[in-house]
Amino acid sequence: MGASFLAHLAYAEHHTSVLGLFIRPLQSEFGWSRSGIAAVQTFARFTEAAIAPLLGPLIDRYGPRVLMPIGAVAVGLTMLGITQIEAIWQFYLLRGVIAAVGFTLMGALVTDVAINNWFVRRRGRAIAVVRLGSNLSNIIFVPVTVFVIASSGWRAMFVLFAVVTWLAVLIPSAVFMRRRPEDMGLHPDGMRPVAAPESSGAAGNVEMAPEPVWSRREVLMASSFWVLAASFGVTSMAFQGINISLAPYIQDLGYDEALLAAVMTARAAIMAGTLPVAGFLAERSQRLPVRLAPFLVQGTGVFFFLLADEPVFLWLAISLYGVGFSGVAVIQGVIWANYFGRFSLGMVRSLAFMVAFGFGAVGPVAMNAVFDVVGSYRPAFMVIAGLFVVAALLMAAARPPIPQRYATAEGVVLTPGH
């Protein structure tokens, strides 16, 4: 959990809300359009969508200890490379392709699978604690980024991102991360082995219930997979578009840099404060209201962004959006493991990430294309508010799939096409 927390902490530069702070500096120096700059996130999402299905089986087979250090090295080197760019195609190549591969290797896809393998009953709370790293990242790096860009330029901030990635991810992940507790003779949730009845002569063993094992074909044939993937995909498209556009939108409304930093930091703090409750509730995600509420709350927050030229509505929008965002993040981290089990989770999540990243790739460029055409983000906010309602309806339709095979951790055998 600690190493995963640090990985989320170091994930700051990949957050579209933080990347949005670079739009105006890059626009000023290079003359690139907002949609052109935002398109780097589209490249990144397509890259992540392409690599995720290849990465999933590797997560199940080798675990995060191998993959995360490779990702950290790649991200750090790429951040340094970005400081030397002179053309937008170089920005796309480094930030949109190479860094995206690195972030996928060290990011939520890998850490969520690891946490879900180590926790079952306490899964929601464990995911929530790890996700606090992302919120703390925003609390720290939004004001730091605003300050560093203003005082030393945007290139200095990318150097800082590289250093943080190497310190927070490279060493901790290599030392502490493991695939699943059974590899170390342990059990999920810290359960202790209990002595078997004396007559059995097998003291110290614990009988673990068999869990589902899925092949790629079986997952793709399950209707619940596509319903869940579509729900989170639509959500990804919505919040990827908003997150990268939020900083320039607030600036366009006439608010100064100090209030921008305060608003963005407050959003992260609200998300962090919400996470423990979201984690506790996510462990009851079999209840429909628990699954639906985060989507509807986040959508309501988006609606209030339309009224954000009044400060009270800006703060209300940020608050509701942050609460909903935390809920959706934890629900997504938990529900895949609840529906499909632990042993094929890397493969299942990677296929779902492909769908979500594919949807998410559209959000940033579409939102900023609307701005380039009509000079306002408001029409896009109206559409996005509706998308959260669509995501909630899809979540309501999702039902747990029926697996064809079960196995224990000792008996499961994963093949490349599992």
For residue 250, being part of any structural domain is answered with yes
Residue 15 token pair: 């957050």
**Distance between CA 389 and CA 384 in Å, rounded?**
9
Give the model's confidence band at 69: pLDDT under 50 very low, under 70 low, under 90 confident, else very high: very high
For residue 226, being part of any structural domain is answered with yes
Report pLDDT digits (tens) over 274-285. Answer: 988 999 998 888
Residue 202 has pLDDT above 60, yes or no: no
Domain coverage including residue 175? 2-181+212-400
Give the model's confidence band at 50: pLDDT under 50 very low, under 70 low, under 90 confident, else very high: confident
- Count structural domains, the chain: 1
Give the single-character DSSP code of 197: P
281: nearest Cα among 320, 349, 329: 329
**Distance between CA 214 and CA 66 in Å, rounded?**
23
For residue 194, being part of any structural domain is answered with no
For residue 198, being part of any structural domain is answered with no
For residue 412, being part of any structural domain is answered with no
Q: What is the pLDDT of residue 38?
A: 81
Rounded to an integer, the average pLDDT of 107-122 is 90
**Distance between CA 185 and CA 189 in Å, rounded?**
13
**Distance between CA 133 and CA 111 in Å, rounded?**
12
Residue 223 has pLDDT above 80, yes or no: yes
Q: What is the CATH number of the domain that holds 273?
A: 1.20.1250.20
Count Cβ neighbours within 10 Å for each residue of 295-330 and write b for 16 or more, e otherwise. Answer: bbbbbbbbbbbeebeeeeebbbbbbbbbbbbbbbbb
Higher pLDDT, 86 or 136: 86
Q: What is the pLDDT of residue 357?
A: 75
For residue 84, being part of any structural domain is answered with yes
Q: How many CB atoms lie within 10 A of CB 50?
A: 16
Report pLDDT digits (tens) over 403-418. Answer: 888 877 666 555 444 5
For residue 416, being part of any structural domain is answered with no
Report pLDDT digits (tens) over 309-336. Answer: 999 999 999 999 999 989 998 998 899 9
**Distance between CA 217 and CA 105 in Å, rounded?**
24
What is the pTM for the complete model shown?
A: 0.76
